[in-house]
Chains A and B, each alone.
Chain A
Amino acid sequence: MATVALPQVEQVPSGPQRSGISPWQKWGMILISPYVLVFIVFVMYPVGYGLWLARHPVSYEHLFEDPIFARSVINTIVFVVVGINVKMVIALVLSGFFIQARTWIKWLSFLFILPWAVPSIPTILSIRFMLNPEWGLINSLIFRFTGADGPNWLNDPTLALGIAMLVHIWKSLPFWTLILIAGRLAIPAEHYEAASVDGATSWQKFRFITWPSMRTLYLTCSILSMIWTMGDFNSVYLLTGGGPADLTHVLATLGIRYLRLDQVDLSMAAIVVALPAVLPLVYFMMKRLSK
């Protein structure tokens, strides 16, 4: 009896009653600790420090009195609402295009990813030079074909912001298209075959098969893209530098502008003001992904 009971006794320590920690828990703690350390030192402390810097009510008074801030808020909203929706609709259409089985489309998808894979700075500078009013490629071509001078693209705040949105779309469209392609490929082919047998048009196939299965993914992608686009510094800074006359700033570039002017309090206040818009979206995303 005793020999049979012994192994049972030995198994007890792995149960919850045991006071010490199992080697599995111990190693778990050891292996997770580098990230916990990184989080505390480079996320928690900076965020806390940033909020502490943003604690003065007077910073917000200055911020709200600054006409550049008001303009940046409007620019950011336009950038996010218009830019993201245009981008996601194009990505949805292109995801349907890229799943077509053609050799040339496969080659095109190979090139299509380039804007996302290469760094922003060379390509955005390339676009910036292309738009130079005097010697840029675009205005040279306009002059050659129409004999008229092209617009001074980046010197007009509305045009410049529009082009910054196009730059953003150029850069991040491949990524979202790739995600939506993966979503489309996950739809079983039999659904489409059955619909074809029933004589469904391509619009009906999209409306009743593709869209219902893609809706959630599409919404998730749109929200994630919105959050990230609020932090898109490169598309505006490298193209216009916030100009002309600081009229094309978005919140991401405004924060850095204040930092360079040695107004860290304002810089942090500008970010804190954006949090009520960002945090609900972040909460929504976390609910969705941590399931």
Chain B
Amino acid sequence: MTRHLRRSSVAGIALLASVSISAAPETHRNFVACPIVRDTSTVPCWLADYKGETYFLTLQTDVSAPVNPPQLGHKVLVEGVVSNEPRICGGTVLKPVVLSVLPELDSSCSTMLPAEERYNLTFEPPRPPGPSKGRLAFAPATPAPRPAPAPDVASKTFALQFDFDSAIAFRHAGQLQQIHEFARQSKAARIEITAYRAASLLSDDSVFTEREDIGQRRAEQVAAVLKDAGLTSVAYDVRWRDAAKPDGVNDAALRRAEVVVTR
């Protein structure tokens, strides 16, 4: 089921009703494509082709990296900015870039390219492919600081960002922990969760809209895991709604949940 809608056809969509949509800026590349993995003599590069150009998305690094690689077997929604940096692995560098692995399987996304000398990295990658002798893959974690005393504020707002069409994922564990910790220390009485369903304005001027129930799913999952983590004596106000219109620039930020923790 496609949820790509041409600009001219979106007027009746509640999400975008009565709002005209401008094209994404030329500096931005927002598209859905199969990711491509290219091996190098060190770590693999992740690329994607769009309208005859190859774009560099990211390198294989570590789970803690700000951008995680996409997945073969799935298309990826790319939302990036064309940078002036030298090409990497033959691709125009998108930076910053947000990558969303689309949940449904797509067996056509299977391209693995071999290492070629001309595409090897011209710099040392942030981390090698697995351990390397004599060099730590990443710096040892510094001891966690003692939890700060609960700040003397009545409430605090947290924001969770989501991949397109996805709810809670791997990287949210740390953010949920911050919410949990604040709620516990401040002896929170109320948690308001508002999650959004959003859309992305693609570079071909179509609008790519998330599944209808994703806002509800995000909101309910966040509430459920906070309760399961022990925040049971808190009043929950759980809401979901459609986000503002996409502009092709900040669309990734619209896929979010706001969590307001109040004492």
Asked if A pairs with B, the answer is: no
Q: Which residues of A contact B (CB under 8 A)?
A: none
